[in-house]
A = this chain, B = another copy of it.
Amino acid sequence: MSEINPDTYLARYASRTRGMTASEIRALFAVAERPEIAFLAGGMPYTAALDLEAVAEVTQGVIAENGAWALQYGGGQGMPELREALVGVMAAEGIAAHPDDVVVTAGGQQGLDLVAKLFCDPGDLIVAEGPSYVGALGAFASYEADVVHVPMDDDGLDTDALEATLAQLAHDRRPVKFLYTIPNHQNPAGSSLSSRRRERVVQLAEQFDLIIVEDNPYGLLDFKGELRPALLSLAPERVIYIGTLSKILSPGLRVGWVAATESVRDKLVLLKEAADLCQSNLTQAVAQRWFATQPWQAQVETFRGVYRERCDAMLGELAASFPAECRWTQPTGGFFVWVRLPHGLDAKQLLAKALRARVAYVPGAAFYADGGGGEELRLSFCFPPPERIREGVRRLAEVVHDEIAFAHALFGDQE
Instruction: Assess whether A391 is interfacial by the CB under 8 Å rule.
Output: no
Q: What does the 1/0 interface line of A1-41 toward B look like (CB < 8 Å)?
A: 11110101110111111001111001000000000000000
Instruction: Assess whether A304 is interfacial by the CB under 8 Å rule.
Output: no
* B-contacting residues, A138-192, CB 8 Å: 138-139, 141-142, 175, 177
In the complex, A76 Cα to B138 Cα: how many Å?
A: 13
Contact: A273 with B138, CB < 8 Å?
Answer: yes
Q: Which residue of B lies closest to A14 (CB)?
A: B121
Interface of A is mostly: helix
Contact: B121 with A15, CB < 8 Å?
Answer: yes
Instruction: Assess whether A357 is interfacial by the CB under 8 Å rule.
Output: no
**How many chain A residues have a CB neighbour from B under 8 Å?**
93
Contact: A267 with B235, CB < 8 Å?
Answer: no
Contact: B266 with A254, CB < 8 Å?
Answer: no
Contact: A1 with B206, CB < 8 Å?
Answer: yes
Instruction: Assess whether A283 is interfacial by the CB under 8 Å rule.
Output: yes
Instruction: Assess whether A252 is interfacial by the CB under 8 Å rule.
Output: yes
User: Which residues of B have CB within 8 Å of A8?
Assistant: 209
In the complex, A368 Cα to B55 Cα: how many Å?
A: 44
Q: What does the 1/0 interface line of A106-141 toward B look like (CB < 8 Å)?
A: 110110010001111100100000000001001101
**Given known contacts A48-B68, A52-B67, is B279 in contact with A254 (CB within 8 Å)?**
yes
Give how many copies assemble into the complex. Answer: 2
Contact: B72 with A63, CB < 8 Å?
Answer: no
**Given known contacts A138-B273, A237-B3, is B68 in contact with A50 (CB within 8 Å)?**
yes
In the complex, A112 Cα to B64 Cα: how many Å?
A: 33
In the complex, A26 Cα to B74 Cα: how many Å?
A: 11
Instruction: Assess whether A324 is interfacial by the CB under 8 Å rule.
Output: no
In the complex, A270 Cα to B141 Cα: how many Å?
A: 11
Instruction: Assess whether A44 is interfacial by the CB under 8 Å rule.
Output: yes
Instruction: Assess whether A288 is interfacial by the CB under 8 Å rule.
Output: no
Q: What does the 1/0 interface line of A299-333 toward B look like (CB < 8 Å)?
A: 00000000000000000000000000000000000
Instruction: Assess whether A276 is interfacial by the CB under 8 Å rule.
Output: yes
Q: List 9 additional contacts besides A9-B264, A72-B252, A135-B274; criterion CB under 8 Å.
A: A6-B263, A12-B175, A13-B119, A15-B121, A22-B266, A50-B67, A52-B67, A73-B251, A113-B276
Residues of A within 8 A of B (CB): 1-4, 6, 8-10, 12-17, 20-23, 26, 44-45, 47-48, 50, 52, 55-56, 59-60, 63-64, 67-76, 105-107, 109-110, 113, 117-121, 124, 135, 138-139, 141-142, 175, 177, 202, 206, 209, 211, 235, 237-238, 246, 250-254, 261, 263-264, 266-267, 269-271, 273-283, 286
